[in-house]
Amino acid sequence: MSLKTLVTGGAGFIGSNIAKALLEQGHRVIVYDNLSTGYRSNLLPQCEFIAGDIRDQELLKQSMHGVDVVFHLAAAVGNTRSIEQPLFDSEVNLLGTIRILEAVRNAGVSKVVYSSSAGIFGELKSLPINEDHPVMPDSPYGVSKLAAEKMCLAYSRLYGFQAICLRYFNVYGINQRYDAYGNVIPIFATQLLSGEPLRVFGDGNQTRDFVNVRDVARANLLAAQTDAASTAINIASGSALTINNLIQLMGYAHGAKPTVEYCPPRKGDVYHSCADVGVAKSIVGYEPTVQIEEGLLEYLQWFKAELSLVEH
């Protein structure tokens, strides 16, 4: 069955990959984005586009007419940015989400798939991280994403629509551009291709669970199709990789050994991270499929082509 879908933040990195996956399955896609970090060039021509901010209640109301599923990705992203700009972080991530949910409620939308974050967990008490792990976020970003997740689930109970919250771990892949506050992989790619040393905050033995955006997009589509009760689930690769090993793999994919510069650790960064994705498998049928070696090679090829376009 073809659905009418609305993707907030759909011109961004993850959102544009979800929009593409939806179009490939024959769904109608409306992208709602203020282009503060997204790009029109990320979108396929079949996407309908609304230039709007999620803090604009009236435009949200108009945009929800006849929509079956909302994929809510629009957000202020990053621990460091949130520490520097905590008010902005909450205005977008929490108040913006409440405005989305009000529009969903008033329009009678039947389902919301919310993009949450592993940042809600904070420093870890046990590994791998399952959905019952204590949530003690270490930054305003983690707090705002947790509050927005709880708000989605509360609204679903109050107003009878389904809400599936997907807790992403370290997502990487095509359409992910450099952002000084963003994921380590595009930062390393930028440094690698410019011949700069790769700057590591800490000793490099900290671990992350890197998940390819193609797997994340598929998880969103599976969440939209499930009849499961409203809940929150981890979306990750289910395996841990040290930053030092990541550097080695990126060097292999690039064909040159990187130089590394070690810097003091940053506030708000956890040391270890690895997810248990068993609940995602049982509830929505999600299993990661993209191996890190394959994903990094694909990403660096895209990144080099994108860099070449920018330079010319």
Which residues does the annotation mark as catalytic? 141
272 and 154 in contact (C-beta within 8 Å)?
no
Find out whether the peptide bond into 128 is cis, omega within 30 degrees of 0: yes
Cα dist from 51 to 72, 124, 173, whole Å: 15, 39, 24
Burial class of residue 224, CB neighbours in 10 A (0-12, 13-18, 19+): buried
Q: Strand ranges (DSSP E) for the chain?
A: 4-8, 28-33, 48-51, 69-72, 111-117, 162-168, 170-172, 198-201, 207-208, 210-212, 231-235, 241-242, 260-263
How is residue 159 written in tokens? 């107003």
DSSP class of residue 12? Answer: S
**141, 170, 139: which is closest to 240 by C-alpha?**
170
Query: CA–CA separation, 92 vs 94, rounded Å?
Result: 6
Closest CA to 68 of 21, 108, 101: 108
Q: Report H helices in 136-212.
A: 140-159, 184-193
